[in-house]
Structure 1
Amino acid sequence: MNKTKSSNQVQRRFTDNFPLKRFFFAVQAVLFTITLLFTIVISSHSTIGVNPTPVALRPDIQVRNILNTLSDSPSVRIVKDPRNNTLYYLKQNGDIYQVNLGSSTSTLVYNSSNHNVGETQGMAIGPNGTIYLVGNADLVNNQTKAIIVKGVINPATGQRIWSVLAKSTGYPKSKTAYDHRFNGVIVSLDGNFIYVNSGSRTDHGEVQSVDGLYPDTREVGLTACILRLPTNGTNLFLANNRATLKTAGYIFVEGTRNTFDMAFAPNGDLFGTENGPDRDMSEELNWLRLGGNYGFPWRIGGTDNPQQFPNYNPANDRLLDRRFNAVKKGYYRNDPTFPVRPAGNLIEPIPNLGPDADSYRDPLDGRVKDTSVLGQSFSTFTAHRSPLGLVFDRLGVMSPEFNRDGFMLSWTPGDPTGETIAGPFKDPGQDLLHLKLSKIGTTNYKLNATRIVKGFSNPVDAEIIGNKIYVLEYGGNRGIWEISIPTN
């Protein structure tokens, strides 16, 4: 979850893999004088802003605070054990806490001394109770490696035994705010595989040579993809070579920039939220299918990345906002060696028909417009929202309006009336959206997005138990909030 550096870099370790970068720029734009965390460098150990009280936008939805997880290390994931619906949350330093919903307390149950991963960004629990953790470690020469461990319960003793499921070889970071590294993970419904996101090392496919250490390097074999690994694996080796990974059967999809969160719908289809670049290009929700290429870096947010074209002139690009790091650093440039778009179909994001999270900047006149007001759709969410925390009513327990639908968080604070900050424009962000998805034949879905709760402090992840959605905040007091949705 890493994304920004110095003022931007102070935040980088966490945002290296995630959408936090947006927050840093949003705060910078509003306050101008405060250096905050976008990429939220976990090393700063600071919270983000004050803690607001979330507000339901309809009277039949209830919101209550379960507890605050405030400590030196930020909270990054919240998951349930599907066997008994026990909630757990993960700190970026590897601490795992069990939540007691009855008493609104939590207990530390595992830490890095148990699982040997010191910097974690992903956690999931399989149908048999096995815990999977995804972490990253820095190496010499500005390289990084991924570490994926599993904690299996010994049926004889009831103790959890930790082991390495997979490790990657070292691969080059970009030494920028865009080292997203390994983060999101989900277990297949049958428990046989995990899907692990490896984000991009670039903002939009530009060369990031690390001061010449890695000449002409853009994305590499281990970045900008989602891997599928067998859960019965032990010490699997992940090479930094796309062909080798494909031969081993480890590549699930390609062309994803940073799918920080994934969730299965009631029909078994897998969806992923996609975090976009510093250019005003839309954020995505994708239907993820084996072998698919989702377009990065040639197609982003349902539109072409203009840097792939030989006549690109950034001075004429109305979607470049100087408040964003990649724009200020000159990463948008005429780029005659940009890789040729691959042959075959690139899978497009899911179109959003509104009424919410559907603002865009018109590339012709540079003005912010509302697609649903204009009777249009676009793919998928307002730029810089940083979509996270995707869950579905898989059990079908909610009232007809929400039954078997999706719900999604948005990390970044925005400007609901204009574009005064570098967050989502004419869009408030930091909310919970209701996603009404409809299938379009066998090729894609469409959705309607509606805000139902507002006022979170950088919500980073969500879990669902029955009709209750549990939202974990990265900012403020790092609260856990219970959102009760009407039932049948």
Structure 2
Amino acid sequence: MLVFWLGLAVFFPACSPSGENRTTQGETPWRAPESANHRLNPFQDESALEAGKAVYQVYCWSCHGETGMGDGAAGGAMDSRPADFHTKSFLNQTDGAIFWKISTGRNIMPSFEEVLSEQERWQVTAYIRKLGEGMAETLAASPVRLRDDLQINHYMKVAPRAVRIFYEPKTDAIWYATFEGEVFRILRSQKPLKAERILSVSDHGISRLQGATIQGNTLFLAGNNRVNDNKGTTGWVMRVSLDSDGKHSVTKVFSTVEYGTTSTPFDHGWSAVRVSPDGRHLFVVSGSRTDHGEVQDNKGAYPNSRNEPLTAAIFRFPIDTKDLLLENDLDWLRSRGFLYAEGIRNAYDFDFDKEGNMFAVVNSGDYDQSEDMFWVREGHHYGFPWVMGGLETPQQFPDWHPDPEKDPFLNTSAAAWPQDFYNDPDFPKRPDQVVFSPGMRNFGPDAVKYRDRKTGEIMDAAATGSSITSFTAHSSPLGLNFDRDGLLGDPYTGSALTLRYTKGTKSSLMQPFTTNGEDLLLLRVRYDPALDNFTLNSWRIAEGFNQPVDAVLVGKELYVIEYGGRQRGGNIWTVSFP
């Protein structure tokens, strides 16, 4: 489901807010009954902590973060932060109260009573208490190459919650941006390397920053600002002109009218932004505000709201656009030429090949649909919310009823399950006379696990001589880069590269498919005239990153940036090609 937020959100497993006093508006504090408070934890030895850590990695970290500070990327889009296990209000609870909340669930946090055994729930209770007390070992990652002709080196530590990395050739600088709106510049020639903060949120005004790029001496920043007492949102793109003397001027490209945000991790917001190869246009992604097209009215503030005209699409604007106000009206957006492509759930990243074709990597929802890679063409509709990963969304069929016993594509640990988002008899009908453009078929050999439609079994397309659209479910592909200049050596020349943010051992949704993830994929992209579409082959070439959220290809080096936690921060790694 990532946003992050990433929606990144935004493409993440279920969240588990267990704090004593963490509430959303209109809710009472979450307190365990007295009978639960007095229960003692029978599993507290070292083996229990190790077992609890394994459970935490699969079910909890994406919202609560590596160190338990409530700073996981999946929680970024929600109107209240997931519980911080380091706070007094959390640590003052008894183990029995924590165990009860894990078992019972509330709102977006599912009940784990049927998902985890009683022993596992006690074990994760022990682990998160130790995590909060600062005594538990945190997750670690050290990237490793899977091919001998690659080199991976640590470049530098970065600020917490990094979301974008990009390159500016004029001064030979690597730039990166954080979710909180900070923008840093790293001069590659400067030794030792130093990240200089150029902008903060007070400079550009975007409080939830997800997109950033640079063209010449101009930065373009994309994101959202909450309105209406945090119930609504507006999308923003800002232009920052940088002067040689270090000063800068800020103008608004556009903002949107108000529309409803959600209290879930499904509100992906405005994210990826890129300048067209000819320099004439600015392309901006707006992710969906839902998991699969369900009603998300934010506790009634925006009645019957599902997806909006301003969401789940890629937009195009003249590069010199200034002070534009976007209406939340489909006909208005189409008639003015702003709506470039529709029906794309969450294209958190996109790039152009050497011929100027646009490609986007897209993550699907909580249902076990595969993740798409699209050849994005003007005026095309790519199927969301009726089709994702080549599989039809079952809510559109009146004879379908959500039952995990009968439908193996439903995962009860998913964030969409506990609030009954799948029970949707009023799901909208497909638009008349609209042909959906399919995702690209991937023939593997890697990242092509899928669930068989008839049997529900997990299959490997490479092993069966078939293909899927386009990547293993819940992989969350990010950081797409094409070798447009053909600088990479054989066998990488002219290929594309993408990251998978999610890892099977850390994701309750991805785990049934694979233990792999948090890796780098090499993509061979070829046009098939019979399909009038491109096809893929994908290979894993590096692994062991920790929440890799974006990448930029500079010459023969790919700079990979990690999201990091609220305080710990992540890293930039360089993957050097022959």
Normalized against structure 2, the TM-score is what?
Answer: 0.76
1:482 matched to 2:574? yes
Closer/same/farther in 2, CA of residues 468 and 236 from structure 1, 3 Å limit: same
Of 72, 76, 90 in structure 2, the residue corresponding to residue 41 of structure 1 is 76
For the 8 Å contact 2:173–2:185, the answer to whether it is kept is yes
CA distance in 2, matches of 1:111, 1:280: 38
CA distance in 2, matches of 1:420, 1:410: 12
After the TM superposition, which of the residue ranges 250-259 and 144-153 deviates more from structure 2?
144-153
What's 2:470 paired with?
A: 380
Identity of aligned residues (%): 32
Closer/same/farther in 2, CA of residues 268 and 32 from structure 1, 3 Å limit: closer
CA distance in 1, matches of 2:304, 2:55: 31
1:18 matched to 2:9? yes
CA distance in 1, matches of 2:211, 2:355: 24
Closer/same/farther in 2, CA of residues 82 and 254 from structure 1, 3 Å limit: farther
Alpha-carbon displacement from aligned partner over 1:442-481 (angstroms, at most 9, x marks no partner) = 7211111100010000100000101100000013641000
What's 1:6 paired with?
A: none
Which residue identity does 1:230 align to in structure 2? P
Alpha-carbon displacement from aligned partner over 1:406-429 (angstroms, at most 9, x marks no partner) = 0000101114xxx98322522411
Of 172, 179, 186 in structure 2, the residue corresponding to residue 92 of structure 1 is 179
Closer/same/farther in 2, CA of residues 49 and 178 from structure 1, 3 Å limit: farther
After the TM superposition, which of the residue ranges 359-368 and 179-188 deviates more from structure 2?
359-368
CA distance in 1, matches of 2:11, 2:178: 15
Closer/same/farther in 2, CA of residues 201 and 107 from structure 1, 3 Å limit: same
Of 366, 369, 373 in structure 2, the residue corresponding to residue 281 of structure 1 is 369
What's 1:206 paired with?
A: 294
SS at match of 2:463: coil
Higher-Rg structure is: 2
Alpha-carbon displacement from aligned partner over 1:270-328 (angstroms, at most 9, x marks no partner) = 11110110001101111111111000011100111111111112223220011101123
Of 491, 498, 516 in structure 2, the residue corresponding to residue 408 of structure 1 is 498
SS at match of 1:266: coil
What's 1:459 paired with?
A: 548
Write 1 or 2 for the structure with the bigger share of strand: 1
Which residue identity does 1:189 align to in structure 2? P
Closer/same/farther in 2, CA of residues 84 and 70 from structure 1, 3 Å limit: closer
Write 1 or 2 for the structure with the bigger share of helix: 2
Alpha-carbon displacement from aligned partner over 1:150-190 (angstroms, at most 9, x marks no partner) = 112458x6743211010101011132221111111111112
Q: C-alpha displacement at 1:404, in angstroms?
A: 1.1
CA distance in 2, matches of 1:290, 1:49: 45
Q: C-alpha displacement at 1:32, in angstroms?
A: 5.6
Tell me how many residue pairs correspond in the alignment.
470
**Equivalent runs, 1:356-375 vs 2, <5 Å:** 356-375=446-465
For the 8 Å contact 1:282–1:302, the answer to whether it is kept is yes
What's 1:68 paired with?
A: 157
SS at match of 2:13: helix
Alpha-carbon displacement from aligned partner over 1:187-240 (angstroms, at most 9, x marks no partner) = 111221111111111111112233333332211111111111112011011111
What's 1:108 paired with?
A: 197
1:323 matched to 2:450? no
For the 8 Å contact 2:76–2:265, the answer to whether it is kept is no
Closer/same/farther in 2, CA of residues 370 and 218 from structure 1, 3 Å limit: same
1:189 matched to 2:180? no
CA distance in 1, matches of 2:144, 2:206: 36
**Equivalent runs, 1:78-157 vs 2, <5 Å:** 78-102=165-189, 103-126=192-215, 128-140=216-228, 142-153=231-242
Q: C-alpha displacement at 1:20, in angstroms?
A: 5.0
Of 189, 211, 220 in structure 1, the residue corresponding to residue 308 of structure 2 is 220
For the 8 Å contact 1:310–1:334, the answer to whether it is kept is no
Q: C-alpha displacement at 1:268, in angstroms?
A: 1.1
SS at match of 2:445: coil
SS at match of 2:177: strand
CA distance in 2, matches of 1:410, 1:117: 27
SS at match of 2:444: coil
Q: C-alpha displacement at 1:337, in angstroms?
A: 4.3
CA distance in 1, matches of 2:533, 2:273: 23
Which residue identity does 1:372 align to in structure 2? A
Closer/same/farther in 2, CA of residues 467 and 234 from structure 1, 3 Å limit: same
SS at match of 1:39: helix
Closer/same/farther in 2, CA of residues 165 and 360 from structure 1, 3 Å limit: same
Which residue identity does 1:121 align to in structure 2? Q
What's 1:173 paired with?
A: 261
Name the Cα RMSD after superposition: 2.6
CA distance in 1, matches of 2:169, 2:360: 20
**Equivalent runs, 1:378-457 vs 2, <5 Å:** 378-415=468-505, 421-423=508-510, 425-441=513-529, 443-457=532-546
CA distance in 1, matches of 2:426, 2:205: 44
For the 8 Å contact 1:151–1:161, the answer to whether it is kept is yes
CA distance in 2, matches of 1:111, 1:199: 24
What's 2:339 paired with?
A: 251
Which residue identity does 1:252 align to in structure 2? Y
After the TM superposition, which of the residue ranges 111-120 and 190-199 deviates more from structure 2?
111-120
CA distance in 1, matches of 2:58, 2:273: 35
Normalized against structure 1, the TM-score is what?
Answer: 0.90
Alpha-carbon displacement from aligned partner over 1:378-429 (angstroms, at most 9, x marks no partner) = 10000010000000111101123111110000101114xxx98322522411
* Unpaired stretches in structure 2, ≥5 consecutive residues: 17-52, 66-71, 87-130, 132-136
CA distance in 2, matches of 1:303, 1:381: 13
SS at match of 2:12: helix
Which residue identity does 1:405 align to in structure 2? S
